[in-house]
Amino acid sequence: MKGLVVKNTGSWYTVHADDGQKIECKIKGNFRLRDFRSTNPIAVGDRVSIEMHSEDTAFITEIEERTNYMIRKASNLSKQSHIIAANIDQAILVASVNYPVTTTIFIDRFLAVAEAYSIPVCIAFNKIDRYNAADKATLEALIRLYSSVGYTCFRICAAGGEGVDSLGEQLADRITLLSGHSGVGKSTLINRLIPGLELRTGGISEYHRKGMHTTTFSEMIPLPQGGYLIDTPGIKGFGTFDMENAEISHYFREIFAEAEQCRFDNCTHRREPGCAVLTAVDEGRINSSRYKSYLSILKDREGSKYREEYE
């Protein structure tokens, strides 16, 4: 029997079987011994084969080949990865200028991983109703930056509904991963997009201005306009995984474009003479925050720990 993994609670997986049943499954014990470098060998969005062993016991025995997946370094700083979701058409990164702050380094790391696995991304800047004049200026600067390198950006207020209809049009008939920090309003946004769902929502710590987790597991939720949203727990940091130094510049669109003019084919864009990327940074054609994010991923590959400022 085959089906689609629609929920992952850690030890149990809900599989929507092709015959319409929803079946709670576990992984066979030896399944985890295969050559996986992941904390979760099966992810929401996976197509799987299952075997029924009794009326109330089923096991996942095989994963079909994935078209893509979104991955990050496991949060315990081990050499393992964590697969966020598989077989997705696009990702929406929900960000906020404040309440809590989403840094450009976090945004850029997410975008770089999505580029590596050929996943289109839109950025939804939420909580626009709460921004003061300085926050609004920052918002517009961020939208100019990310629009200039080819990412579609939305200004939304999930609580009040502003901009949500336009975002909803982007989701129709697609499988969309929804991601971002805890507290940026993912659950509120899903409740706005799917009336009657009533996911539990949380606020942020006003002292630390950081979000508090409300989603504790990943789940694929059908949309009224067709397609699915994959709701995921909030991500504190985004450690990159399995990127080679020579490839990292490929995942920053504007750096990759300028790199064609570098003197050396193996230029790392840090100190080399004749580096077109360094010239572009100096001349403002590459934003300094994007270049800083590129350097931060290089440091990951050189063994630096994933630090707080990269959140």
CATH (domain of 22): 2.40.50.140
Is 214 a member of any domain? yes
Q: Which stretch of 8-12, 72-76, 162-166, 288-292 has the lowest confidence by average pLDDT?
A: 72-76
Cβ pair 193, 223 in contact under 8 A: yes
Residue 257: its H or E element: helix 253-259
| Residue-range definition of the domain harbouring residue 175 | 69-231
Is 88 a member of any domain? yes
Rounded Cα distance, 37 and 156, in Å = 37
Return the residue matching tokens 């689609």.
4
Q: How does pLDDT run across 294-308, given as a tens digit for each residue?
A: 999 998 766 654 444
Is 155 a member of any domain? yes
Handedness of CA 230, 231, 233, 237 (dihedral sign): positive
- Pick the closest to residue 305 from 102, 40, 73, 84 (CA basis): 73
Q: How does pLDDT run across 201-247, given as a tens digit for each residue?
A: 655 444 434 444 455 688 999 999 999 999 988 776 666 666 778 89
On whether both 53 and 74 belong to a single domain, the answer is: no
Rounded Cα distance, 48 and 26, in Å = 12
Number of alpha carbons in the 13 Å side-chain half-sphere of residue 63: 22
On whether both 198 and 297 belong to a single domain, the answer is: no
CATH (domain of 84): 3.40.50.300
Residue 27 confidence (pLDDT): 87
On whether both 145 and 22 belong to a single domain, the answer is: no
Rounded Cα distance, 226 and 120, in Å = 18
Q: What's the number of domains the chain is made of?
A: 3
Rounded Cα distance, 223 and 217, in Å = 18
Residue 46 confidence (pLDDT): 96
Mean pLDDT value of segment 4-22: 92
DSSP 269: S
Count CB-CB contacts under 10 A for residue 239: 20
Residue 114 confidence (pLDDT): 94
Bridging pattern class, strands 121-125 and 90-95:
parallel
Rounded (to 5) percent helix, strand, coil in the chain: 30, 25, 45
- The mean of the pLDDT values for the chain is 87
Residue 260 confidence (pLDDT): 95
Residue 202 confidence (pLDDT): 53
Residue 240 confidence (pLDDT): 66
Q: Bridge partners of 8?
A: 13, 218
Return the residue matching tokens 């893509």.
68
Residue 209 confidence (pLDDT): 45
Bridging pattern class, strands 2-8 and 218-222:
antiparallel
Q: In the structure encoding, which two tokens stand for residue 247, read together? A: 């490839």
Is 86 a member of any domain? yes
On whether both 158 and 112 belong to a single domain, the answer is: yes
Residue 11 confidence (pLDDT): 80
On whether both 16 and 52 belong to a single domain, the answer is: yes
Q: What is the CA radius of gyration of the chain?
A: 20
Is 50 a member of any domain? yes
Q: In the structure encoding, which two tokens stand for residue 259, read together? A: 């790199």
Residue 10 confidence (pLDDT): 78
Is the pLDDT at 270 greater than 90? The verdict is yes
Q: Bridge partners of 58?
A: 52
Residue 204 confidence (pLDDT): 46
Q: How does pLDDT run across 56-110, given as a tens digit for each residue?
A: 779 999 999 999 999 887 665 556 778 899 999 999 999 999 999 999 999 999 9
Rounded Cα distance, 178 and 280, in Å = 33
Per-residue pLDDT band at 275 (split at 50, 70, 90): very high
Q: Which residue has the higher pLDDT, 9 or 158?
A: 158
Q: How does pLDDT run across 204-217, given as a tens digit for each residue?
A: 444 434 444 455 68
On whether both 167 and 224 belong to a single domain, the answer is: yes
Q: How does pLDDT run across 164-209, given as a tens digit for each residue?
A: 999 999 999 999 999 999 899 999 999 999 988 876 665 544 443 4
Residue 241 confidence (pLDDT): 60
